[in-house]
Amino acid sequence: MTAGVFAGCGKPSQAPPDPNAVDPVHGHLLHAQSILPTVNVWLGDQELVTEIARAQVQIATGMMFRTNMPENTAMIFVFPDAEPRSFYMRNCFVPLSAAYISPEGVILEIINMKPHDETGIPSQSANVQFVLEVPQGWFARHNISPGAVIRTDKGSLRETFFQKSGRRDALCYEALRFSGSARKTSYVKFTVLPVRTDS
């Protein structure tokens, strides 16, 4: 009588895909990202529940692979500095409109983007620090045009995303360091406290 254990028959086992795997060229996730933290954004009397994309991989992934975006929801992309921006629709299934926004929270331009169109739409302005994506046509349906100011339930965009920390009178700065010819982003936080004059 022979007894045997048949192991490894059939297909070889494969490790589950890495949920944090990133496209090596474009830097985005290979699947839809989880719902990000939200903030309430106000444009006039219109309120949007808005996901915050701030980390590099969150910005690169954006709305990729998602199949819907409800009417009064949005995603805001928060950049550490103001410069020209260009957005495209790689792996995006939902038609979107986007507003290029100044550091002061003023809408500079509104663009419409088609699903899967990988042609970037560059901003005309070099002063774009935030980009707000909404379901396509949302701005037009709500009579929002360039010049409108965006605020959150926490104040201006600057106050919301680059806010003081620690003591009430402390100032917080986020600085970018550049190394060599390749741009490397690292965040350095400085807290400046007022000088005490009473001894």
Tell me how far CA of residue 45 lies from CA of 93, 152, 167, in angstroms: 29, 12, 33
How far is residue 15's CA from residue 36's CA, in Å, rounded to a whole number? 27
Fold designation for 38-161: Jelly Rolls (2.60.120)
Predicted local distance difference test score (pLDDT) of residue 129: 98
Q: Are 39 and 54 within 8 A, CB to CB?
A: no
Specify the pTM: 0.73
| Sequence ranges of the domains in the chain | 38-161
Series of mean pLDDT values for 10-residue runs along the chain (199 residues): 46 62 68 89 95 94 92 96 95 96 98 96 97 97 97 94 55 32 35 40
Nearest-10 Cα torsion for 195, 155, 146, 136: 130
Q: Are 130 and 79 within 8 A, CB to CB?
A: yes
- Tokens representing 165 are 């920390």
Which residues are registered as beta bridge partners of 74?
50
Predicted local distance difference test score (pLDDT) of residue 54: 94
Sign (positive/negative) of CA torsion 105, 110, 113, 118?
Answer: negative
